[in-house]
Amino acid sequence: MTALTRTNPSPSSPAAGFGVGRTLRLGASRIAYETRIYFRQTDTLFFTFLFPVIMLTIFSVAFQGMGNVGANPDGTGGISQAAAYLPGMIAAGILLSGVQNLGVDIANERSDGTLKRLGGTPLPVLSYFFGKMGQVFVTSVLQIGLLLLVASVVFGVALPTDGGSWMTFAWVYVLGIATSAVLGIAISRLPRSGKSATAVIIPPILILQFISGVYLQFSLLPDWLQNVAGIFPLKWMGQGMRAVFLPESFAAVEPGGVWDLGSVAIALLVWLVAGLVVCRLTFRWIRKDS
């Protein structure tokens, strides 16, 4: 160790600002930092980033022999198993990248002292949130891109070609990922320790995937279970994505016989706002008197 020099090369002007500009600049820098760390964690890479691709592959291969979904009695028509599973896997990816990733990640950061350390620095809480949400957005775009690539190249799923479908995709995706990220930050309060984080957060998310039409065809679930799933956002993300990727005729098996995108938008918005309120009210760098 050597002594530090006294010289103070760039005395910044005192008004060099703790305003919005700084919050955004630090937020942008946090996105790069958080994203870099994300890809260094092999467990997140497997259970969050690659999970939907792996599940799509398994289901598509396993159920190939059952023929097409929604085929005519003579076996013609319908769509491949991969095409049928794709919308649900995209919705699951959105949920995992936001809720599971941030829920576990922030619970760990709270428990290992990262948040406490950050709380002692002049980092604005908002910049920290921007960093997390930016990381979720970047990694999730890559994840969905990979899913679409594998679906179309490996399993020959025909992707939509009309602008309208992709517009729907864009807003369902943006609303879905924003809601997921916010809910991830909100539920990171629940685990009491970093060790219990995965045990507390992963099981409910897994159950949600089973009842929300990710692994099991939603229209085959009993009404009461559909209604339970309808409370949570994943069902609505899945419904929105089915509207994008499935043929129009498949709307007939949806509840009410239509895609009902209006309800998708409302349900996701309600969850987004609720999540923001919970974050605003409950997020602290540390549990003050633990």
Partner 1 sequence: MTSADTAVSVEGLTKSYGAFAALKGVTFDIARGETFALLGPNGAGKSTTIEILEGYRDRTGGEARVLGVDPQHGGLEWKAKLGIVLQSSGESGNVTVREQLTEFANLYPNPRSVDEVIAAVGLEQKAGTRIKNLSGGQRRRVDVALGVVGRPELLFLDEPTTGFDPEARRAFWELIRGLKRDGTTILLTTHYLDEAAQLSDRAAVVAGGELVDIGPVHTLGPDEARVPIVRWSENGVVREQRTPDPGRVVADLFARLGEPAALEIVRPSLEDIYLELVSSYEREQEQVPA
Compute the distance between CA of residue 131 and CA of residue 113 in angstroms, rounded to an integer: 18
Tell me the one-letter amino acid at 15: A
Chain residues 10-29 in contact with partner 1, contact rule CB under 8 A: 10-12, 16, 18, 26, 29
Q: Which of 21, 77, 113, 160 binds partner 1 (CB under 8 A)?
A: 113
Q: Which of 54, 62, 64, 117 binds partner 1 (CB under 8 A)?
A: 117
Q: Which of 62, 112, 145, 190 binds partner 1 (CB under 8 A)?
A: 112
Q: Which stretch binds partner 1 (CB under 8 A): 85-93, 108-116, 203-211, 268-276?
A: 108-116
Q: Which residues pair with 69 in a beta bridge?
A: 79
Q: Which of 4, 66, 153, 281 binds partner 1 (CB under 8 A)?
A: 4
Helix 194-211 vs helix 233-245: crossing angle, to nearest 10: 50
First to last CA, the chain: 35
Per the listing, tokens 């957060």 go with 201
Compute the distance between CA of residue 56 and CA of residue 62 in angstroms, rounded to an integer: 10
Compute the distance between CA of residue 248 and CA of residue 27 in angstroms, rounded to an integer: 41
CB of 6 to partner 1, least distance (A): 5
Chain residues 28-47 in contact with partner 1, contact rule CB under 8 A: 29, 33, 36-37, 40-41
Compute the distance between CA of residue 12 and CA of residue 15 in angstroms, rounded to an integer: 8
* 73 is an interface residue for partner 1 by CB under 8 A: no
Compute the distance between CA of residue 19 and CA of residue 154 in angstroms, rounded to an integer: 49
* 75 is an interface residue for partner 1 by CB under 8 A: no
Q: Which stretch binds partner 1 (CB under 8 A): 78-86, 109-117, 133-141, 174-182?
A: 109-117
CB of 243 to partner 1, least distance (A): 39
The answer for residues whose C-beta is within 8 angstroms of residue 202's C-beta and 6 or more apart is 47, 100, 104
CB of 30 to partner 1, least distance (A): 8
Q: Which stretch binds partner 1 (CB under 8 A): 83-91, 119-127, 238-246, 269-277?
A: 119-127
For residues 10 and 161, which CB has a smaller minimum distance to partner 1 in the complex?
10
For residues 72 and 290, which CB has a smaller minimum distance to partner 1 in the complex?
290
CB of 240 to partner 1, least distance (A): 34
Coil/strand/helix, residue 69: strand
The answer for residues whose C-beta is within 8 angstroms of residue 191's C-beta and 6 or more apart is 103, 107, 111, 197, 199, 200, 201
What separation in angstroms does the CA of 248 have from each of 71, 79, 190, 239, 245?
14, 12, 41, 13, 9
Q: Which of 50, 63, 78, 124 binds partner 1 (CB under 8 A)?
A: 124
**Residues interacting with partner 1, by CB under 8 A?**
1-6, 8-12, 16, 18, 26, 29, 33, 36-37, 40-41, 108-109, 112-114, 116-117, 119-124, 286, 288-289
